[in-house]
Each structure stands twice: as structure tokens, then as C-alpha cells.
Chain A
Amino acid sequence: MAQAAIELIGINKSFGAVRANRDINLEVARGTIHGIVGENGAGKSTLMSILYGFYQADSGEIRVGGKPVSISTSNDAIALGIGMVHQHFMLVDNFTVLENIILGAESDALLKKSIAKARSELDRLEREYGLEVDPDAVIEELPVGLQQRVEILKALYRGAEILILDEPTGVLTPAEADHLFRILKQLKDQGKTIVLITHKLREIMAITDTVSVMRQGTMVATRVTKETTVGELAELMVGRRVLLRVEKGQSEAGAVKLSVKNLTVKDSRGVTMVDNVSFDVRGGEIVGIAGVAGNGQSELLEAISGIRHAVSGEVMLDGKPIDLTGKADPGELRDRGLAHVPEDRHHVGLVLAFEENENSILGYHDDERYLKGPFLDIDAIMADAKDKIEKYDIRPGNPRLKTANFSGGNQQKIVLAREMEQDPGVLIVGQPTRGVDVGAIEFIHKRLIAMRDQGKAVLVVSVELDEIRSLSDRILVMFAGRVVGERGPDATEGELGLLMAGVEHQEAAE
């Protein structure tokens, strides 16, 4: 085995009483791709933050290239040749690629000299690793795949020999993800060491040499990727067997409950985000909308739920139109049986600063069940919240706890419980399991299918292809604001991937 690039020995880290990492040992061999998987809150990000100098370990030792080191700031990490590509890019949107790359690593007081120096260096890096980006392009005009490439270049420019990538494919199309993987392989061939943090087991299987699994702050196993299976890894992550694909019966589609006709939506800058989209959702079926983030799905959901102005078209709920001027009263739509689980639960679906019970009535706070005159009926609200906590197994089961203190999966359950328990006729769900751990995904999927089996119309938008394929009875693919194809649940990933990438209908079918 090659010499270890990084060794972590007996790392412990607590936040107050929370032990985020306990006795972690990890060895990553030089020139390999090492995956780290685990549920949210398993401690992956904490561990990498310790390695990158954001946090200090309470105890334990870090060795880089065999030598014990102390890393107390990210500058120390950079000096040791460790680079990090964050899940949320750390780029200045209105700077050019070059300006972003030298940011914080300016070599001279005058910008001009720094840029000239960076330009030749960048040129060399781009040629060496096949990472072509126009150095003078402005970041906000680049697609996300290229923005990520800039992040990688940034790390390489700073002399990174060890590259940490945190959930790098969350925002990419399958094609872009494949391209990223090719780049990573190339970097590996050039002798770089790569640590890949992800919760997507498929990626682990596709690209890594070795993989470590974390659960609840401990390192539960390290495997050679070729000798393990997705099933084994999932089981290690959760600590029990999980169904990777929910079982569901044949759908019995009934009458059309939600009908969208020629809907066009523009954003505040006047760019067309949803372009003449039409489809129906019937009772008793789940329609899934696949697509790479940013292709109009969010705007579509917002228009249907009455909180975004649509330029033209119509949306019928149970045969009656929805006000599309953007002034629709979401409260009235709720009364008509439309429930909406928004994509962004942190800012839209929940108020994180509220107690759990306060969030369990958000949007239904006008309901007389929860009111006594102008006053909130606290007893009724608490009883209702406890009831939902029980039914949806929300943990910890304390309705007085601040919502921000719940894990992502439990926060999503709070929203789902609220919306599903209103017994709506139509349920629209954006990113049902974004940032949700494997165990909760299974639960949420089962609930959605139960809704379908009760004859409700369910519309699901997700950027996770696996999720769409596993849940949907019909799959619509959105690209650049248009629905570019409709497929059955047995559509292959490749077929959908091509549609998502905007390759024309006919080509995809061939």
C-alpha cells in the first residue's frame, strides 16, 4: 500500500455535550480517491472541518505525509497542501474566474501584477488537468458545473496535493457529474489524493478506491470499494437494513385533480423560467418532475401554489381556476384542498426560530381549531403537535423545542405532518428528501405512496433521479423551463439523464 497522505488518529470533538466525532481513525493512501459516507449529522463535515482548520479537535493527532501537524486555521491547511471544495461554492458572483482564483492569495499589492501571474499559472493548470474555463468569464454567467471547476482550480492554484470535496454532485446534471468524475480520476492519476464526502452511494461505487462509513460520530467501517456493495454500505450507515427502493402497488388513477395548461412564468428580471408547460395530475397517482436544479421547477411549484405571478396560462384545481396573478391567497388554496411542501424548508416551509408546535400550524393558523377569538388556543395547538409527533415519529418528541434544533429529516417530517394531516386532495412536494437521512427518506417515501393510495393527487419535484424513478407513476422532465419529455416509471437513468441535459427528445429515444 502506498504511503498515507493523511492519517487521523483518535480524533475527538465535542460541541458542548454533543460528541460530533469520537475516536475517529482514518488513513487515506496517497494517490487514491477515498469516500466518506454517512447520514446527515454523522460527523463527516465536522471531521473534514477539523482537517481543514475550521475547528480544533479536542484530542487526537493529524499526520500529513507521515508527519504530525497542527492545523488551527485554513491557511495552515493550505500550506500543508490541503484544499477544499465546499458544497456551497465560496465564489464572488460578480468577479471573474481569475479574480476569484487569486482572492486571498494575491501576490502583490497591485491587482494587475497578481492577475498577470495568476493567468500564466492558471493556463498551466488548465492544460495539465484538462480543466478548461475562460479565465475572464464572470462567475454568475457560468453554469454550476463550471463554477465548481473554478473551485477546484482555486484549490490547485494554492498548491493542493490533497483535495476534499464536500457533496460535490448535489447541483450537477448526471453528465456534469460524470465529467467531474473524469476530472477527479485524472487528478488521481497525477498523484493527487482526493477525499469525497457524499451521501450518494452510487457515486462511491463509481469512483472511489476505498470508502469509510460514519455513523453518529464514530467511524463504523472502512472498506475497499470493489469488495463491498451498496446494500452493505447503506446498512452500515443506518445501522439496520434499509429498503433502497420503496415497494408500491399499481396506481389506480382517477379523475384529474390538478390541471396545468400553457403555464408561463417569468422571474423578476423578465427571464422566462417556465415556458408553456401543460400537464395533468390525477387522483391516485404520483407525477414526478425530474430536472437539474434551476430549470424552472421551483418557479412552477410556486406558481401552482399561488405565491408567484404567472404571465399566462391557467391552473385548475378540481376544475376551478387558481388565481395566477401572484396575489392568490395561499390560505384560500389550502381551504380548497391544495397542500404544498416547499423546496426550501428552512426559509419557506418552516420558521426555524419557532418552537415545533408553532410550526405545526404555519399556514393553518387561521383555522378555528387553533384559535379562541383573536387568541391562539395553546392547549389545542400543543395537543395537535403532540399528535403529529406521535404519528410521524418526529424526534425528539418535544413540541416546545426550537425547530432549528431538529435534524433535517425531522424538520421535513414536521412540514409533511402539517400538510398531510390536513387531508388535502392535492399535495405538491418540492425536494421531499433534500438533506434528509436514509432512514427518514424511506419513511417519507412510504407516506407519499400512502397518500397516493388514498386517491390523492401527488406532484413531486426532485433533483434526485433515484427518488423520482422510485416514487413516480409518470415522470416529466423539465429542461430550460419546458417539459421536454414524459416517461413511465421504468425509464432508464440514462434516458432521463439525456432529457435532463437538454438533448432533444428524438435523440434520447434512439
Chain B
Amino acid sequence: MSTPYAKLPAWADYGLIPLINLSVAFIVAGFVVMLVGENPFRAAVILVEGAFGKGTGIAFTLFYATTFIFTGLSVAVAAHCSLFNIGTEGQAYIGGLGIALVCLSLDSVLPWWVIFPIAIVAAAAFGALWGLIPAYLQAKRGSHIVITTIMFNFIAASVMVYLLVGALKPAGSQAPQTRNFLAGAELPKLNWVIELFGAKIRSAPLNICFLLALVMAFLVWLLIWRTRLGYEMRTYGHSPKAARYAGISETRIIITAMMISGALAGMMALNPVMGDQHNVAIDFVSGAGYVGIAVALMGRLHPVGIVLAAILFGMLYQGGAELAFEMPAISRDMIVIIQGLVILFAGALEHMFRPYIQALFASVSPKSVGMQAVNGKGA
């Protein structure tokens, strides 16, 4: 028999198992909270209330989620082509450079709705270019993409520091950042949507990039499962030999996938730069690229899963900040531990509970597990 364990129905595969993994992560996190002498139940309440309790909290959660949707999609697109793009961080950072160039030169003459599309193209193009070089090295020279993209994160950071303390910094300023953009490069907020539901928002950075992220999620779904290019990427991702056999050029597919991945990463920068800070500051990506890896894995590389996982991580970011504020014993580092546990159980140990669940399903309702392979006789 080739499959020792029968398949699970889709709802268990995509719903139940992630839920169990997540619950276990939170239970373990609860013990950690107990260890530092706080009440885990109260901590959980603060975390959830901080993220979803008030209008402002929801807006912040969705603002963070927007960022993670972009980086998660970026990682997922590359992963479908079996490329592990660790460089989302750097590609997003360089994407910010593209946005800065567009905004700084055009914000005094054009309105936001003209600048926005130009900035999208610039962010995508800069991110794509930053993905292109490692892709080329992988395709032509066999340099491993994991190594090169990590190195390119450092190069991106150095380049940005160099520019932000030099050419991009207004004369006389002490801060390593560009000047603040004018109104022409500020994106409209979406807070009014939440206010429609009766919530009050003091001030929150949620902006139209959230809608852009949802559109991109749909386009990524379309790309991966409905286009020839996506078909070729998945073929290469599952089996490079099969791709070779099918006449799919390895060089072309690696470069294309990495450029799309880089473009999505670059677009992430729109959210904090044009939607919130209105300048490009040092380290504005602050690890969102790496969170994108967790988001993509947890979302099982599917755009719907990625959107949900991004909202979960947005909740951890926003609720975690509240938690650190309310409970002095719990520092920012504790929040990182909780995030780490989520990644550990939902990503790395994804299959830990699967055999038990499958055994359970098989004994409770044999019909629900895959029968197909046996129904058709041996040929």
C-alpha cells in the first residue's frame, strides 16, 4: 500500500488541524505566562480584547495584517515554485526605496490617486529587481536561493542605511529617514469602514493598502491555479525533472517566480510608508518579511489561508502590544515567544497530530476518509 494513512476530509485538513495546532500553541504559551507569574486567562482576554475589542484595536490588527498578507503571498508564490525566498525582508526594504523616489519627486505636483499607481509599480519593480539577482544566480550558477536571499537582506539593509543617512536625508536633519511626504503621497484611511459598524477610532493607520492586499491575494490565486504560468511554476515546484520533460525552461520559471515574489514583497512597503509613516525610515520593515514565512506556511500557501494567518499574526502584534502595556511582567519578548510557539506548532510541527486525527476519523466514520483508491480495481 502506498498510502499508510487515509486522507482526511478537506474541512478537517484545512480547518480542524490548524485549529488544534493553534490551541496547543496557546496552551503552551499559557504555561509560559504562568511561569512569569501572571494569570494566563487574563492575559488571553487582554490579548484578544486588545486586538478586537475596540475599533482602534481592529484597525491596528488589520493594518499589521495588510503587511503580512503581502509578505505571506510573496513567500507563497516562490514556494509554489519550490523556491524558499527568505529575502522578502530585503525586497520589501528596497521596495520602500522605489516608493521614496516616486513620492519625494512627485508629491508636490500630483494627487494621491495618481501617485499611488505609480508607487505600486515602483515598489513592485524595485522588489522584483532585488529578487531577480538571487534568482539569476540560482538559475544560472546554482547558488542556493536561501543563502543568496539572506545575504541580499543584509545588502539591502546596508544600502538603505547608506542612502538614509546620506542622499535621502534632508540636509540638517539628525534622523536617518527621508523628509515627510506631502499630502499628495498620503493614502486615504479605511477607519471609516470600521466606524460604519459603530466602533469608535481615535487614530489608526489602516488604509487602502488593505484592499490592495486582498486584490493581490485574489490575483495570486488566479496566477497559481488558473494560468499557464502558475501551472508551470507548480510543475517545477513539485518536480524539476517533470518540468524539464514538459519543456518548461528552468531559468525562465525560476526568474519569473522570484520576480513576482519580489514584487509582492516590494508592495508591502506601500502600507507602512505611504499609509502610515509618510516617510521612509531605517528598518521600517522590522521583521515583517520573516513573519511572512510563518504566515505562508500556516496559510498552507493558499491565499485564503494566508489572509487568515495574516490576521492572526496581526492580532498577535496588536494584542501583544496591549498585553505588554497592561502586564508589566510580560515584555515584548514574551510576545515574540508566543509568536514563536504559533510558528512552531502551526508550521514546523504541522503534522504532529495528523496521524492521531486520522486514526480517530478512520475509526469513527470510515466513509469520510478517502476510499477512491480502492474503489477502482487494480486496473
Footprint of B on A, CB under 8 Å? Answer: 14-20, 39-43, 45-46, 55, 216, 305, 307, 329-332, 334, 340, 342, 344, 347-354, 358, 362-363, 365-366, 371, 374-376, 378, 393, 395-398, 401, 404-407, 409-410, 413, 436-437, 439-440, 443
Contact = CB atoms under 8 A, between A and B. Distances in A.
Contacts of A371: 228
Contacts of B117: none
B207 to A, nearest CB: 31
Given A16-B7, A363-B246, 10 more contacts: A216-B377, A307-B245, A348-B239, A350-B242, A376-B227, A396-B372, A404-B3, A406-B373, A407-B373, A409-B379
Contacts of A401: 372
B106 interface: no
B379 A365 contact: no
Given A216-B377, A404-B2, A351 B242 contact: yes
A351 B239 contact: yes
Contact of B379 (A15, A340, A443): A443
B5 A362 contact: no
Contact of A16 (B231, B232, B235, B366): B366
A354 B234 contact: yes
5 contacts: A18-B371, A20-B1, A348-B241, A376-B228, A393-B379
Contact of A39 (B2, B370, B372, B378): B378
B176 to A, nearest CB: 43
Interface string B220-240: 001000111101101100110
B142 interface: no
Main secondary structure of the interface of A (DSSP, over half): loop
A331 B247 CA distance: 5
Nearest to A444: B379
B140 interface: no
A349 B245 contact: yes
A378 B222 CA distance: 12
A330 B250 CA distance: 13
Given A16-B362, A401-B372, A436-B379, A362 B6 contact: no
Contacts of A440: 378-379
A365 B228 contact: yes
B200 interface: no
A329 B6 contact: no
A351 B238 contact: yes
Contacts of A395: 376-377, 379
B1 A374 contact: no
Interface in B198-235: 222, 226-229, 231-232, 234-235
Contact of A365 (B1, B222, B231): B231
A349 B378 contact: no
A18 B370 CA distance: 9
Q: In the complex, which of the residues A20, A42, A396, A409 has the most CB atoms of chain B within 10 Å of its own CB atom?
A: A396
Contact of A46 (B1, B5, B246): B1
A352 B241 CA distance: 12
B3 A15 contact: yes
A352 B242 CA distance: 10
Contacts of A18: 1, 3, 6, 371, 373-374
B37 interface: no
B367 interface: yes
A353 B234 CA distance: 10
Contact of B227 (A42, A353, A375, A398): A375
Nearest to A393: B379
B139 interface: no
B369 interface: yes
Nearest to A239: B377
Contact of A409 (B7, B366, B375, B378): B378
Contact of B226 (A39, A42, A378): A378
Contacts of A16: 5-7, 358, 361-362, 366, 369-370
